[in-house]
Amino acid sequence: MEATVAHSPGPRGTGLDTDRMSSRLGAAAAVTGMLAWVIGVALIPPDAKLEKGSQQLARVLKAHASQLYAAALLAVLGAVLLAGFFAVLSSLARPEQPGWVWLRVSLAGCVMTQTLVAVGAGFALAAVHAAAGNAPGGLVALAWRGLWLAFLTSALPTIVFTATGVIGLGQAGLSAPWVSALGWLSAAAHLLAILTLAQDGAFAPDGIIATLTPLTTVLWILALAATLPRSRLSRRTDQRTPGRHPRQ
């Protein structure tokens, strides 16, 4: 009987395998989502600027309608996958463990942010569809402005889910210090972005600064996804080894 017990797989091994699989699936979703988002942004023509005038904007959107449809759909895909990644993160900490509350708040902020991204993509689709149908330039520009204002509005919940995520992941022992530093950098970059009220130029909602700001979040998410499986395994090992304490 002793030999049978010694070789029987226990619930601990099953739980560890489940957590490891969840971490890997979450990391895969994060990488895929961030890749979809980057490709989607790259598909936006550089000349699709509000400062070019409504008629010129309508012509650019009509000429690139197919790739802009793809860009909007990729942005929505990225939003869904990123929300899924944070759902996985929130599930890796138990209610009695440090960081659980922070990660729940982070998940709520992430869902809010990605909802605004999806709304922005909807405005983009409306603008492209209007341009393809030869609608007035003013209507096209209004919808296109809605796209960038939705992205700008998403900066606030982005700061919330990033800051609370960094705190929660740190307390749960799921984030290396250098990964947490990238998270704080992303939060600071988005804070600066929402303080800019320029109508045109680099600091406009569709300017180069606002476009590149989300890349700080991309870097943080990719770093987190790359280190999460190892961090989770280390965390579980710390919890189950007598005399060892989870990393804070």
How high is the mean pLDDT of the chain? 83
Q: Is the pLDDT of residue 50 over 80?
A: yes
Q: Is the pLDDT of residue 5 over 80?
A: no
* Domain total of the chain: 1
pTM (whole model) above 0.85 = no
Instruction: Look at residue 226 and tell me if it is in a domain.
Output: yes
Residue 149: both structure tokens together: 């204002």
Instruction: Look at residue 4 and tell me if it is in a domain.
Output: no
By residue range, what is the domain housing residue 137?
Answer: 18-235
Instruction: Look at residue 93 and tell me if it is in a domain.
Output: yes
Instruction: Look at residue 244 and tell me if it is in a domain.
Output: no
Q: What is the pLDDT of residue 137?
A: 92
Confidence of residue 141 (pLDDT cuts 50, 70, 90): very high
Q: Is the pLDDT of residue 17 over 90?
A: no
Q: What is the pLDDT of residue 46?
A: 86
The string of pLDDT tens digits covering residues 68-77 is: 999 999 999 9
Confidence of residue 23 (pLDDT cuts 50, 70, 90): confident
Confidence of residue 206 (pLDDT cuts 50, 70, 90): low
Q: Is the pLDDT of residue 153 over 70?
A: yes
Instruction: Look at residue 225 and tell me if it is in a domain.
Output: yes
d(CA 34, CA 40): 10
The string of pLDDT tens digits covering residues 85-135 is: 999 999 888 888 888 999 999 999 999 999 999 999 999 999 999 999 999
How far is CA 57 from each of CA 216, 224, 229, rounded to the nearest angstrom?
Answer: 28, 38, 45
Q: What is the pLDDT of residue 101?
A: 94
Instruction: Look at residue 3 and tell me if it is in a domain.
Output: no
d(CA 171, CA 167): 6
Instruction: Look at residue 123 and tell me if it is in a domain.
Output: yes
For 121, residues 6+ apart whose C-beta sits below 8 A from its C-beta are 72, 73, 75, 76, 79, 147
Instruction: Look at residue 13 and tell me if it is in a domain.
Output: no
d(CA 93, CA 69): 38
